[in-house]
Protein backbone atom coordinates (compact mmCIF):
# COMPACT_ATOMS: atom_id res chain seq x y z
CA UNK A 1 0.00 0.00 0.00
CA UNK A 2 2.88 2.40 0.77
CA UNK A 3 4.43 1.77 -2.64
CA UNK A 4 1.08 2.50 -4.25
CA UNK A 5 0.75 5.79 -2.34
CA UNK A 6 4.24 6.83 -3.40
CA UNK A 7 3.58 6.00 -7.03
CA UNK A 8 0.30 7.93 -7.08
CA UNK A 9 1.97 10.95 -5.45
CA UNK A 10 4.43 11.03 -8.36
CA UNK A 11 2.30 9.89 -11.31
CA UNK A 12 -1.20 11.05 -10.34
CA UNK A 13 -4.31 8.92 -9.92
CA UNK A 14 -4.01 5.39 -11.29
CA UNK A 15 -6.14 4.61 -14.30
CA UNK A 16 -6.34 0.94 -13.40
CA UNK A 17 -9.60 0.31 -11.50
CA UNK A 18 -8.08 -2.81 -9.93
CA UNK A 19 -5.68 -0.54 -7.98
CA UNK A 20 -7.89 2.49 -7.30
CA UNK A 21 -11.17 3.94 -8.41
CA UNK A 22 -13.39 6.92 -7.82
CA UNK A 23 -16.01 6.42 -5.11
CA UNK A 24 -17.90 9.71 -5.17
CA UNK A 25 -16.93 13.19 -6.33
CA UNK A 26 -13.28 13.76 -5.40
CA UNK A 27 -13.15 10.69 -3.13
CA UNK A 28 -11.17 7.67 -4.32
CA UNK A 29 -10.44 4.20 -2.94
CA UNK A 30 -7.08 2.40 -3.02
CA UNK A 31 -7.43 -1.37 -3.31
CA UNK A 32 -4.93 -3.94 -2.05
CA UNK A 33 -6.66 -7.31 -1.63
CA UNK A 34 -9.35 -6.75 1.03
CA UNK A 35 -7.51 -3.69 2.41
CA UNK A 36 -9.02 -0.35 1.38
CA UNK A 37 -7.86 3.23 1.94
CA UNK A 38 -10.16 6.13 1.08
CA UNK A 39 -8.37 9.26 -0.16
CA UNK A 40 -8.55 12.51 -2.11
CA UNK A 41 -6.15 14.92 -3.79
CA UNK A 42 -5.27 18.47 -2.88
CA UNK A 43 -2.96 20.93 -4.66
CA UNK A 44 -0.93 19.11 -7.21
CA UNK A 45 -0.15 15.63 -6.00
CA UNK A 46 -0.84 15.91 -2.27
CA UNK A 47 -2.72 12.79 -1.16
CA UNK A 48 -4.97 13.00 1.89
CA UNK A 49 -5.94 9.59 3.27
CA UNK A 50 -9.12 9.64 5.34
CA UNK A 51 -8.81 6.14 6.75
CA UNK A 52 -8.46 2.48 5.98
CA UNK A 53 -10.46 -0.65 6.61
CA UNK A 54 -10.76 -4.29 5.65
CA UNK A 55 -13.58 -4.79 3.18
CA UNK A 56 -15.85 -7.65 4.18
CA UNK A 57 -18.62 -7.44 1.59
CA UNK A 58 -19.08 -6.59 -2.06
CA UNK A 59 -19.63 -2.85 -1.57
CA UNK A 60 -17.69 -0.23 0.30
CA UNK A 61 -19.64 0.38 3.54
CA UNK A 62 -21.76 3.54 3.37
CA UNK A 63 -20.57 4.61 6.83
CA UNK A 64 -16.93 4.57 5.63
CA UNK A 65 -17.83 6.69 2.60
CA UNK A 66 -19.88 9.16 4.66
CA UNK A 67 -17.06 9.48 7.21
CA UNK A 68 -14.46 10.10 4.48
CA UNK A 69 -16.65 12.72 2.78
CA UNK A 70 -17.16 14.49 6.11
CA UNK A 71 -13.38 14.55 6.70
CA UNK A 72 -12.73 15.79 3.16
CA UNK A 73 -15.31 18.58 3.53
CA UNK A 74 -13.83 19.55 6.92
CA UNK A 75 -10.33 19.58 5.44
CA UNK A 76 -11.23 21.93 2.59
CA UNK A 77 -13.29 24.17 4.89
CA UNK A 78 -10.41 24.44 7.38
CA UNK A 79 -7.98 25.08 4.55
CA UNK A 80 -10.18 27.87 3.22
CA UNK A 81 -10.13 29.46 6.70
CA UNK A 82 -6.31 29.13 6.75
CA UNK A 83 -6.51 26.75 9.71
CA UNK A 84 -4.33 24.15 7.99
CA UNK A 85 -0.67 24.36 7.10
CA UNK A 86 0.78 21.97 4.56
CA UNK A 87 4.45 21.11 4.95
CA UNK A 88 6.53 19.70 2.13
CA UNK A 89 9.49 17.39 2.25
CA UNK A 90 11.69 20.35 3.11
CA UNK A 91 9.66 20.91 6.31
CA UNK A 92 8.70 24.42 5.18
Q: Residue 89: its pLDDT value, please?
A: 56
Does 36 map to a domain?
Answer: yes
Residue 85 lies in a domain: no
Residue 92 predicted with pLDDT over 50: no
Q: How many CB atoms lie within 10 A of CB 39?
A: 23
- Whole-structure pTM value: 0.81
Q: Which three-class secondary structure string do you get for the chain?
A: CHHHHHHHHHHCCCCCCCCEEEEECCEEEEEECCEEEEEEEECCCEEEEEEEEECCCCCCCHHHHHHHHHHHHHHHHHHHCCCCCCCCCCCC
71 lies in some domain: yes
Residue 23 lies in a domain: yes
In a domain, 89, yes or no: no
Taking only the tens place, the pLDDT of each residue in 51-65 is 999 999 888 899 999
| CA separation for the pair 83, 85 (Å, rounded) | 7
Q: Please write the tens of the pLDDT for every residue from 66-82.
A: 999 999 999 999 989 98
Q: Is residue 88 part of a domain?
A: no
Asked whether the predicted pLDDT for residue 12 surpasses 90, the reply is: no
Is residue 58 a part of any domain in this protein? yes
Structural domain span for residue 29: 2-80
Q: What's the CATH code of the domain at 55?
A: 3.30.2310
Give domain status of residue 87, yes or no.
no
Q: CB–CB of 38/50 below 8 Å?
A: yes
Counted domains in the chain: 1
What pLDDT was estimated at residue 51? Answer: 92
**Strands 27-32 and 20-24, sheet pairing:** antiparallel
Using the predicted structure, report yes or no on whether residue 39 has a pLDDT greater than 80: yes
Amino acid sequence: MLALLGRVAIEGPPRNIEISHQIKGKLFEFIQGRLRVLWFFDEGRLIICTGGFVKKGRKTPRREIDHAIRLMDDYFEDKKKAQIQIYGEEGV
